[in-house]
Amino acid sequence: MTNMTALSLRGVTKTTGAFTLGPIDLEIEKGYRVAVVGPNGSGKTTLFRLLQNLTRPDTGEVKILGMLQPREELPIKQKIGYMPDGVYGFEEMTPAEAAGFIKHWYPRWSDQRFRELCGTFEIDPGKKIAQLSKGTKQRVLFILALARDPELILLDEPTANLDPFVARTMMEEMSAVLEDGEKTVIFATHVMEEVRKFADYVVFLYKGKMLGYFEKDEIMDSWKELWVEGTAEAVAELPGVVTAEGQGPVRVITSSRRDTERAFREWDIAILKVHNLELDEIFAGLMKEYDRGRG
């Protein structure tokens, strides 16, 4: 792990009841926006809890900003801005009171940044959090996370319950903090449009397994829908082919466009059309590959 690494997990596993996350091997460099996606129950929340030392791994090593969890838990937490998926412990406080409580634990806390963000998101710092709508509470949590001036920002479903305009403003603010190249954002989301617009890298989780850590533009360039002549049986086993359906023309989903197109040329299979895939289609293909490999 170098001083350019924000996060390093080595052989990390965690079992809770019948569910096991891992083993996870993951290294994230500083300065990027990383989306963590997967169906409900895939392990996103468990992963975030491990990063926060809210639960301990059964095996493996977790390092954050060069420091080892849990041995260096306090200095790690002072450099993390965490936005949970709900308000816990602050309901009877106002945003200003919550800020006054939190700031003592974070040496880099910025009152000016807190006030600026309250203005941006139209938050009354003197109104009790319990009286706010669910979406407004989320805006408060986001403000409290960013006002810490953290090096690592962890956001758990940050735009759930938000209207599209506020959600976009939040994601733009999230991106703006990366301008110095020293900060890193990791956000869990179900919204593929946010991943497409704002993520640099994507972690895909499924049934507790990490199906991959991908550069977003690369995976979108590699996965394609091809329409070709022939039969599904003739192309199904060619390199990169995930699915092949139909009988002339055949709809092919490939995880490696170059390898598949090369194979088609070698077998004199004509390509009729090439279409881009959405991220949710790519993720569905990854899940299908994983399930097929297990079977």
What token pair was written down for 2?
């170098």
Per-residue CA distances from 165 to 51, 159, 171 (Å): 30, 10, 10
Contacts of 295 (CB under 8 A, 6+ apart): none
In terms of DSSP H, where are the helices of the chain?
Answer: 44-51, 73-77, 95-102, 111-120, 134-146, 164-176, 192-198, 216-222, 232-235, 257-266, 279-294
Residues in the chain: 295
Question: What's the confidence (pLDDT) of residue 229?
Answer: 93
Contact 9, 3 (CB under 8 A): no
Low-confidence ranges of the chain (pLDDT < 50): 295
> What phi, psi does 79 have (nearest 5°)?
-110, 5
What token pair was written down for 219?
């995976």
Q: How many CB atoms lie within 10 A of CB 245?
A: 10
Residue 208 and residue 17: Cα distance in Å, rounded? 13
Q: Is 268 left (phi over 0), alpha (psi -120 to 50) or beta?
A: left
Contact 169, 197 (CB under 8 A): no
The residue extents of the domains of the chain are 5-218, 224-276
Quote the percentage of the chain above a pLDDT of 90. 83
> What phi, psi does 259 have (nearest 5°)?
-65, -40
CATH no. for 5-218: 3.40.50.300
What token pair was written down for 148?
């810490």
Question: What's the confidence (pLDDT) of residue 247?
Answer: 80
pTM to 2 decimal places = 0.92
Question: What's the confidence (pLDDT) of residue 3?
Answer: 65
Contact 152, 65 (CB under 8 A): yes
Q: Which amino acid is at 94?
A: T
